[in-house]
Chain A
């Protein structure tokens, strides 16, 4: 199992899980806030739609294309 942090809260996922999976397991599944204020969530799951952009250890990444790693800090807000 891998322990990481999602918006300051601890999340435990199976090894090999993507960050998109961690969003679903440890949060409400959403990844970011659109310009208009609405929350957005992973859609395509294959790196095309760009809806799952999150900040991982300070860098903008696609949650569905990023594997969870121990101690990873994932932020979905603001």
Chain B
């Protein structure tokens, strides 16, 4: 055996899983082919989403973990607990903000409604006439590639890394495209949109997104600004969509998103889609139009049919564990994902119910007993 666990993918999910398993005493080998994934392309927004109770539980729990970890993270991880503002564009969206407030408060999260005046005072760059916003105080940001690096290295020597592309996984054997064969009793797929190459039955689809970053304009925006249309309409249609999402980076730069497109794996920037996305952001923050955008790029979110990740053992491939399908929420939910995976692997009671995220909901009932590592095996 080459390790206790082989993890495929060293993005934020693979890194968090490696960290969690190594802290429990396992020898972990992380493989990555350096194709890059959502971790490198995304905004690093730590955001509590509440499309359903499971999503809220996973994101809220994970954001709490990031807040604890932030005390030890290096400056390069660029963690900030700057909070999010969900912007209401009309009275209908203000009602949505109130409903969201109620849901989040019931979950014990710190949040408050800002009326029109309070919103203008908080974020003066926003356009006149917005009726208000919901402020979620616990949300934050980080620089995900460095946070992944920090997770892979903070634990010392139990995590080994190797560059290589996995060609196939058969039982406990991982075969690389150069013919190398590696073995471990547990293999974790944490390679996002590339996971179906190794497990074709996974219902993961790429959802393309665009981002743009501006030159440095410190102090113009303090919270991450997201339109409530992000949840109420803009991204709920099946066709291509855009929503205003403006995030201040610690450098003073602004990230501007967001877009969603299905049915394409072309990484090229789509000019008309980028223009539509920027117009949407300018609708909310007119001054953006005068700022200097320095780069735009795309990335692909690994989307599952119900928007929740698949966390647990593949029901018909004993030893193959899944931590995939996080869509746009992988950076946020990496800590909780790793805890849920480890709890199942060690046969422990997870910190919250694991059922909503089990792969069985798409892959059918389990036909073999789950592989598990007894807790006392932790060395």
Contacts and interface: CB of A to CB of B under 8 A. Distances in A.
Interface of A: 35, 50, 53, 59-62
A50 B290 CA distance: 16
A59 B251 contact: no
B294 A50 contact: yes
Nearest to A59: B290
Given A50-B295, A53-B215, A35 B251 contact: yes
Interface string B166-202: 0000000000000000000000000000000000000
B219 to A, nearest CB: 14
Interface string B283-298: 0000000111011000
Contacts of B216: 35
Contacts of A62: 292
- Cβ-closest 8 pairs across A and B: A60-B292, A50-B294, A60-B215, A35-B251, A53-B215, A53-B292, A50-B295, A61-B292
15 contacts: A35-B216, A35-B251, A50-B215, A50-B294, A50-B295, A53-B215, A53-B292, A53-B294, A59-B290, A60-B215, A60-B217, A60-B291, A60-B292, A61-B292, A62-B292
Nearest to A49: B294
SS of A interface (majority): strand
Residue among B217, B251, B290, B292 with most chain A CB within 10 A: B292
A62 B293 CA distance: 11
Nearest to B214: A60
A62 B295 CA distance: 13
Contacts of A53: 215, 292, 294
B289 to A, nearest CB: 12
A24 B251 CA distance: 27
Contacts of A50: 215, 294-295
A61 B293 CA distance: 10
Given A59-B290, A60-B291, 13 more contacts: A35-B216, A35-B251, A50-B215, A50-B294, A50-B295, A53-B215, A53-B292, A53-B294, A60-B215, A60-B217, A60-B292, A61-B292, A62-B292
A37 to B, nearest CB: 12
Contacts of B295: 50
B266 to A, nearest CB: 21
A13 B255 CA distance: 36
Contacts of B217: 60
B154 to A, nearest CB: 23
Interface in B80-103: none
Contacts of A35: 216, 251
A29 B14 CA distance: 44
Nearest to A62: B292
A13 to B, nearest CB: 23
